[in-house]
Structure 1
């Protein structure tokens, strides 16, 4: 018959032996340690990604100091530009993208993004807008880029609108294509009647559909088959901006390093910003653009008075001066946009 060993006698006044900790009591600590390790890893990953992205930024001296520059105003204003430069395109890419072989460089897309206490608001400036270009008389607003690069374009937009621009971001033709392709395409809803434009390569029936980079570029560049011409095109440009932001900041992309890292690298390669802009303002801009895609804020085009033809310039768009002033005053003072 087996017997259990007797416990060793304790000296007088000694504390009783402590009970062994239960195994179950270790799990909360293990879970806490695991969570802390994951948080530290994610924090380290985020910091590394932040500095890596900052090192990839392309910058340009986009703003000039000049007498009479508009005051800072309220809120934040970005000038978003789509450049139609063909410099980096091969002949095969030019044929595929239907962009022709011109060597000039203008801006195919010009938009102002405003956010602050109100907004966000995304306002398109048609590229054929007839405005004063400092030092060059009056002409189409997109010609300012060809005449003097980003510095002349930002000054032209500031003087035409009375707004102080805080940030500048520019993306190229090829950049549009690569960014959309890295996202695996974007979902675009084509209005009734579809869009078929031989010159841009657009060939879309009505309805919501996935578009790759080449298709998305064709969609936003089409204007010759659109009865509204450039005014119809600027609406599609805003539509694409929202679709890209919505997909890029979606949960599946954000939680997948093998998706958001290639996208981020492609976006940074396609993007040029002013020298004062870093990753933090870019991230905030992206979040505000996503807000637009979710129905917050508003998108619009600068009020148009008429369209006409001017000798030596061609077809131009004239703003409705009174309504345009009300619009830009609301942006400058960070108020809700006026109706009508």
Structure 2
């Protein structure tokens, strides 16, 4: 029994946890059960998992040690992932300067990915990085400052305090990985709602309408904000659009049944993914199998409600939190009704 610890899953329930690097198979484990369900050889899927295991990274001690929100009875079977997108170049987790933060990276993008208990949809909620919130022990700041103040644990604690729901797992993704990901998918088709040209140097032009993105152009698409009058608002909208397009490409039958393409995707993206060490590969495998019927039309995107931009007392440009809207989001997450809530908002 010396190889086991007791782990609180965020809902007040303790379960034994082996000391392991299982978190590194985060995305691979989600894939392998889907692939196995499709009848692919066991040897192949385990080689796939091993490939991910050797290339991805692990965040140790990703969660706060202080008291955390309890999971409500209605949402016992739901799972919440905090996905942190980093604009830092270099990827793959060297030089962890702060509590598991790869390369001392910034939290340029934050998304809470909610998987409801019925496993019939996936909800992706963006949190604007300049949202002015209370950071535990630090006072009021932009939410992405939590990462600088206390690393991943403080960012998790800040999000949990804001929404009053537990975060079950954390994934840190370097935007640089989108180059290889889109190439492995053979390009990602996006219905771009607005024509724009990225800021110098090396400006890139994106026409309105259906466009196919790959490589550097995909990376520039998800990173650009200076070209837009509302800055991060359009950037977040483009990131949500790109994410749905990636999922649409991946969830196609010809992708899921093509071992070579799956291997390429995992191989290209793995070095740019860092996950918490508490994630069980078996748990994610089960989750992947339970989501096998979800398609891109079942993925809903939303942005934590805000009241526009303003100025802090010390003159910073900030995004103002819509507290009433945030309370409604919190209640929907607690009740495991977030999918219907997003639909009711016309998203």
TM-score normalised by L of structure 1: 0.75
How far the C-alpha of 1:253 sits from its partner, in A, is: 2.9
148-157 or 39-48: bigger deviation:
39-48
Quick check: which has more Rg, 1 or 2? 1
Q: Which residue of 2 aligns with 1:252?
A: 254
| 1:83 maps to which of 78, 81, 86 | 86
The one of the two structures with greater contact order (alpha-carbon pairs below 8 A, sep at least 6) is: 2
How far apart are the structure 1 equivalents of 2:289 and 2:137? 34
CA contact (8 A) 1:181 1:212 kept: yes
Aligned runs of 1:138-177 on 2, under 5 Å? 138-177=140-179
CA contact (8 A) 1:242 1:289 kept: no
| 2:238 maps to which of 220, 236, 239 | 236
How far apart are the structure 1 equivalents of 2:222 and 2:153? 25
How far the C-alpha of 1:183 sits from its partner, in A, is: 2.2
Q: Judging changes above 3 Å, is the alpha-carbon distance between structure 1 residues 147 and 279 closer, same or farther for their aligned structure 2 residues? A: same
CA contact (8 A) 1:53 1:279 kept: no
Q: Which residue of 2 aligns with 1:98?
A: none
Aligned runs of 1:15-26 on 2, under 5 Å? none
Q: Which residue of 2 aligns with 1:105?
A: 105
Aligned runs of 1:156-305 on 2, under 5 Å? 156-191=158-193, 193-199=194-200, 201-279=203-281, 284=287, 291=294, 294-305=296-307
CA contact (8 A) 2:91 2:174 kept: no
How far apart are the structure 1 equivalents of 2:335 and 2:281? 26
CA contact (8 A) 2:91 2:271 kept: no
| 2:341 maps to which of 334, 337, 340 | 337
How far apart are the structure 1 equivalents of 2:90 and 2:299? 36
TM-score normalised by L of structure 2: 0.73
Q: Which residue of 2 aligns with 1:126?
A: 128
How far the C-alpha of 1:159 sits from its partner, in A, is: 0.9
Q: Which residue of 1 aligns with 2:95?
A: none
Which secondary structure does the structure 2 equivalent of 1:228 belong to? coil
CA contact (8 A) 1:202 1:222 kept: no
Which secondary structure does the structure 2 equivalent of 1:232 belong to? helix
How far apart are the structure 1 equivalents of 2:326 and 2:244? 23
276-285 or 201-210: bigger deviation:
276-285
Q: Judging changes above 3 Å, is the alpha-carbon distance between structure 1 residues 285 and 154 closer, same or farther for their aligned structure 2 residues? A: farther
How far apart are the structure 1 equivalents of 2:279 and 2:253? 26
How far apart are the structure 2 equivalents of 1:218 and 1:41? 36
Which secondary structure does the structure 1 equivalent of 2:189 belong to? strand
**Structure 2 spans left out of the alignment, 5+ residues:** 1-37, 93-102
46-55 or 164-173: bigger deviation:
46-55
Encode CA deviations 1:252-307: one digit per residue, 9 max, x unaligned: 3333333221211222211111112244555646986994x622252111111231
How far apart are the structure 1 equivalents of 2:256 and 2:195? 32
How far the C-alpha of 1:80 sits from its partner, in A, is: 1.0
Tell me the matched-pair count.
Answer: 286
Which secondary structure does the structure 2 equivalent of 1:107 belong to? coil
Q: Which residue of 1 aligns with 2:64?
A: 64
Which secondary structure does the structure 2 equivalent of 1:163 belong to? coil
CA contact (8 A) 2:85 2:110 kept: yes
How far the C-alpha of 1:45 sits from its partner, in A, is: 2.4
How far apart are the structure 2 equivalents of 1:104 and 1:165? 22
How far the C-alpha of 1:88 sits from its partner, in A, is: 4.9
CA contact (8 A) 1:132 1:138 kept: yes
Which secondary structure does the structure 2 equivalent of 1:128 belong to? coil
**Structure 1 spans left out of the alignment, 5+ residues:** 1-38, 90-102
Structure 1 outlier segments of 4+, above 6 Å? none
CA contact (8 A) 2:244 2:299 kept: no
Q: Judging changes above 3 Å, is the alpha-carbon distance between structure 1 residues 82 and 140 closer, same or farther for their aligned structure 2 residues? A: same
CA contact (8 A) 1:307 1:318 kept: yes
